Amino acid sequence: MERKKNYFAGPSVMPVEVLEKLKEDMVDFKGQGLSMIEASHRGGMFEEMYDQCLALFRELLGISDEYDVYFLGGGATLQFTMIPMNFLRPGSVADYIRSGTWSNKAADDAEKLGKVNYYYDGKANNYSSLPDPKTVKPSENSSYLYLCSNETIGGIEWQDFPDTGSVPLIGDMSSDIFSRPIPVDSFSMIYGGVQKNLGPAGATFIIMKKSLLEKQNSNLTAYMDYKLHSKNKGLYNTPPVFSIWAVKLVLEWIKANGGTEGMLKRAIEKSSIIYDTIDNSSFFRSPVDAAYRSRMNIVFRLPNEELEAKFVEESKKEGMLGLKGHRSVGGLRASIYNALPVEDVVALAQFMKEFERKNG
């Protein structure tokens, strides 16, 4: 089978080796006469696999014992509600950095549950840039400061993170987790959906500093309560078993390919190929501040929307999928997550150059 070139933003490309392993073990997991997705999540083969998955997750990101790590269901979107419910203290304020669709959605949800301060709002520059992390200071009496490390739709990514001192820093890393080493210790909580760099949709990873739980609000219903999930390492209720199993295999793939340093090298190499193509052309244009360009989601424009539609149509004929920009912003977007082979990025750059030659 010839695989399509998959530039979708999520769910997105998986390492083909992982898909093969899932297929191999789907019916009979390692001769145990049972599929992983049929096994109970209490004890036995699932829990053994889950513990290995969590251990590898910690190892690859260098997460210390000060943090709990586990998976929940509900998508990253559920966290937009859970975070303020748990940590936005009554009488206090939470600082949000509005940098695009995903942080804005999180901020809008928080505003329904408490007082929110917009430390920064990128509206004026059409969410094409970010504040200098060195200048970011949380407001007095802040419960936490919230940011999204990579805006999947707008194509901007924090390169360094603010030092928020004693105020907890919380980050949504749905679309760039495991694409680079991260300073976990700068954060009190990091979370994200797994469906970009880590596996099939269904699970959300949570990295929670234990000391943040001491500041948690009371009177939470069971599923909304991070303390309960920490105590049960995410197994309070039935976890998204298939998604977690695949994540474990993707983590093994990441480890075999150089860990987060290896992923960073890949991301730099691949994103440079496309950004160089854009920068060396007067036909393609990047609408985002070069200092904060995403290495995962490359947003670009053509001189007009007709040409953009033509680009998408013609790319599909070449087996290239997912290059249309998000419907809310238009334009074009190539998502080039960890598992996308370098050859598919080279093929895209060649396609772009050829398209320019014919239409420029």
Residues 112-131 that bind ligand PLP (CB under 6 A): none
Q: Which residue has the tokens 């904060």?
A: 292
Is residue 175 within the footprint of ligand PLP (CB under 6 A)? yes
Listed in sequence order, the residues at least 6 apart from 147 whose beta carbon sits closer than 8 Å to its beta carbon are 96, 97, 99, 103, 158, 161, 162, 169, 170, 171, 172
Kindly tell me which residue out of 8, 50, 102, 158 binds ligand PLP, with binding defined by CB under 6 A: 102
Residue span binding ligand PLP (CB under 6 A) among the ranges 13-21, 72-80, 136-144, 214-222 = 72-80
Does the annotation place 238 within a ligand binding site? yes
Q: Which residues pair with 6 in a beta bridge?
A: 321
Show the tokens assigned to 280.
């060396």
Show the tokens assigned to 152.
């999947």
Kindly tell me which residue out of 50, 69, 75, 245 binds ligand PLP, with binding defined by CB under 6 A: 75
CA 191, distance to chain mean position in Å, is 8
Active site residue 5: no
Q: Which residue has the tokens 């210790």?
A: 185
Q: Which of 5, 68, 95, 102 is catalytic?
A: 102
Show the tokens assigned to 40.
């109970």
Burial 208-227 (b: 16+ CB within 10 A, else e): bbeebbeeebeeeeeeebbb
Residue span binding ligand PLP (CB under 6 A) among the ranges 46-54, 69-77, 83-91, 238-246 = 69-77
Does the annotation place 42 within a ligand binding site? yes
Q: Which of 5, 196, 209, 324 is catalytic?
A: 196
Active site residue 102: yes
Closest residue to ligand PLP: CB criterion? 75
Is residue 193 within the footprint of ligand PLP (CB under 6 A)? yes
Kindly tell me which residue out of 68, 95, 109, 172 binds ligand PLP, with binding defined by CB under 6 A: 172
Residues 3-32 that bind ligand PLP (CB under 6 A): 10
Kindly tell me which residue out of 17, 25, 77, 331 binds ligand PLP, with binding defined by CB under 6 A: 77
Show the tokens assigned to 132.
């200098």
Least distance in angstroms from the C-beta of 212 to ligand PLP:
20
Active site residue 253: no
Binding mask 288-327 for ligand PLP (x = CB under 6 A): ----------------------------------------
Inter-residue contact 150 to 123 (CB < 8 Å): no
Does the annotation place 172 within a ligand binding site? yes
Show the tokens assigned to 80.
């937009």
Does the annotation place 135 within a ligand binding site? no
Show the tokens assigned to 344.
């598919």
Does the annotation place 253 within a ligand binding site? no
Total count of residues recorded for the chain:
360
Q: Is the peptide bond before 11 cis (omega within 30 degrees of 0)?
A: yes
Q: How far is CA 288 from CA 15, 156, 323, 346, in A?
A: 29, 7, 17, 22
Half-sphere exposure of 22 (CA within 13 A, CB side): 20
Q: Which of 172, 176, 225, 344 is catalytic?
A: 172
Residue span binding ligand PLP (CB under 6 A) among the ranges 82-90, 154-162, 171-179, 240-248 = 171-179
Give the C-alpha separation, 301 to 101, whole Å.
18
Least distance in angstroms from the C-beta of 347 to ligand PLP:
24
Least distance in angstroms from the C-beta of 102 to ligand PLP:
4
Q: Which is nearer to ligand PLP, 280 or 328 (CB)?
A: 328
- What is the H or E stretch that residue 206 is in? strand 204-209
**Catalytically annotated residues:** 102, 172, 196
Q: Binding residues for ligand PLP, per CB under 6 A?
A: 10, 75-77, 102, 148, 152, 172, 174-175, 193
> Where is the binding site for pyridoxal 5'-phosphate, in residues?
76-77, 102, 152, 172, 195, 237-238
